[in-house]
Structure 1
Amino acid sequence: MAKSLTSLLNQIERLQKEASLIQSEVIDRIRKEIAKYHLTPEQLFGAAVGSGAKRAKPTRKSSTPRVAKYADQAGNSWGGVGKRPEWLRQALAAGKALEDFLVGGAGSQSVAATDAGKPASKRTRKAPSAAKPAVGRKTKATKRAAARKSSKARPRAAAAATSASE
C-alpha cells in the first residue's frame, strides 16, 4: 500500500513538532537545574562559550607558572597577555579602572598575600638557570667518527712499530 505525498508530509510535520516539544521540555528542565545550582557556562563546558567559539587546541604547558599581573577579590587572575577575561571586562564596563586590579595595587588583594601560607619555594619564581655548555660531551656521531679515526690509525701505527723494531 503506497502512501500519498501529502500524508508523508503531514507525518513529517507532526514528528518535527513532537521533536521540538521534547527539546523545549529538556531545555526548560536544564535551565531550571542551572539556575538552581548557580552554574556558569565555564563550569558546564570548561571554556568560554560564545557565538562561533571553536574548541581550542591543546597547548604545551609551560614548565614555569605564569605570574598574575591582575587579580580581583573573587580569586580571578590574569597575566596581562592575550584577550582580557570576561570578569575584567565586566568590571571595567562597570566603571572600575584597570589599575584597581593590579596585583599589589590599591584596589586588589595581592596574589602574594594569598600565597602567604605556602613555602617560599612554592610562591616565588626561580630565575631560569643558564644552559650548561656542552664541553667534553660526546654525541653518538662524534663517538662514531672518533672510532673510525682510531681504527684507521691502528694499522699504520702497527706497521710503523714493526718497521721500527726491524
Structure 2
Amino acid sequence: MDERKRESIVAYLRRRMAEFGIKPEDVATSIAADQERLQAVRFRDASGNTWDGKGAPPQWVVQAISAGQSLEHFAIDGASNRDPGKNTGADWRNDPFAGTRLATIRTEDISAA
C-alpha cells in the first residue's frame, strides 16, 4: 500500500473515531481484551467458532463429535501434542463417495459448467 493511501485511511479512521467519541486508548483496550480471550481458546473449527474447553461444549463441538470427529482435531495447539502413530482424522477407507464422481470432481470441472 502506498504512503498516500495509508495516510488517507488513517485520517478517515481518526475522523470516524472522533465522530463516535472513540479514543485510541479504547481501541488498545479492546485489542488487548480480544488477545486475552483468544489466548484462553483451546479449540477452534474451520468456521472460526471457538471454545475454551470449560463448561458445556457448544453446539458445533457436539455436532462434530456426533459426526465422528475427535476433539483433538480442533485443538489449537493439538498439532504438537498429537501422537504421530495415533490416527485422529477421518477414516477414508470407509468413505461412501470413494471412487465416485463426487470424490473426483475438480475445480476446473465446476468453473466450466
TM class by smaller structure = 0.3 to 0.5
Tell me which of the two structures has the higher relative contact order, counting C-alpha pairs closer than 8 angstroms and 6 or more residues apart.
2
TM-score by length of 2: 0.35
Higher helix share: 2
Greater CA radius of gyration, 1 or 2? 1
